[in-house]
Amino acid sequence: GQQVMQIPQYQHVQEGEDFTTYCNSSTTLSNIQWYKQRPGGHPVFLIQLVKSGEVKKQKRLTFQFGEAKKNSSLHITATQTTDVGTYFCAGGQDSGSARQLTFGSGTQLTVLP
Amino acid sequence: GAVVSQHPSRVICKSGTSVKIECRSLDFQATTMFWYRQFPKKSLMLMATSNEGSKATYEQGVEKDKFLINHASLTLSTLTVTSAHPEDSSFYICSARDLRVRETQYFGPGTRLLVL
């Protein structure tokens, strides 16, 4: 079955430093989504990428979808303490009517003030 | 954004009892809802896909007789953990797909289940 791998598992950065998490799928995806989960909270949708090579920005966050639609990255510029949380990628495939998401293992980001 | 509610948020029960968790889409209709289980500091594991008006589709390794799913309306899906055991203790999260926003899922706040 489809597998989505995400690295690193943990990342500690000093406030103001940049942060990147990478996501790789074993199969070609129809789309990739990114979620943020604060400690004790639930995943919150950040963005969806659909096109090969697509790049989207949300303020300090830059999301990229690979040309082969099998990998993706999330880059945060100049991290802030509010960026703390676990970032999950989720690969979507059109498997008939299911359209399920397969989540990566997540990257837990700690930002030190 | 779309809102999904989940009830209860926390539940403690004795081993052998059954627990029902409700998932509601508050401001949109969801023909498909998903149930996930999340262990501490782990990713979300899809348990089953719930389709309104039909039987749920369970992932490999998930016992359908233990985790009963009912999706009776376009805004409500329920997960019942039957004869709960301590190993069922976990964080259960539902999500609902808003068809107006292609393939986006909105997650409920989750239910933390503790089986004693």
Q: How far apart are CA A90 and CA A77, in angstroms?
A: 22
B43 CA: distance to closest CA in chain A (Å): 5
Closest-CA distance of chain A to residue B106, Å: 7
Helix (H, G, I), strand (E, B) or coil at B87: helix
| Least Cα separation, residue A41 to chain B (angstroms) | 7
Question: Which of A5, A10, A6, A9 is CA-nearest to residue A111?
Answer: A10
User: Which regions of chain B are under pLDDT 70?
Assistant: 1, 99, 101-103
pLDDT on residue A97: 45
pLDDT at A94: 67
Chain B residues in contact with chain A using a Cβ-Cβ cutoff of 8 Å: 1, 32, 34, 41-46, 49, 51, 57, 93, 95, 97, 102-110
Residue with tokens 């149930």: B35
- Tokens coding A33: 């989504």
Quick: pLDDT tens for A30-85: 889 999 999 888 888 899 899 999 999 999 999 999 999 999 999 999 999 999 99
Cβ contacts from A onto B, under 8 A: 51
Which pLDDT tens digit goes with each residue over A87-97?
Answer: 999 998 765 44
Q: Whole-angstrom Cα distance, residue B90 to residue A1? A: 24
Chain B CB contacts of A7 below 8 Å: none
Question: Given B1, B46, B102, which is nearest A100 (Cβ)?
Answer: B46
CB neighbourhood size of B37 (10 A):
20
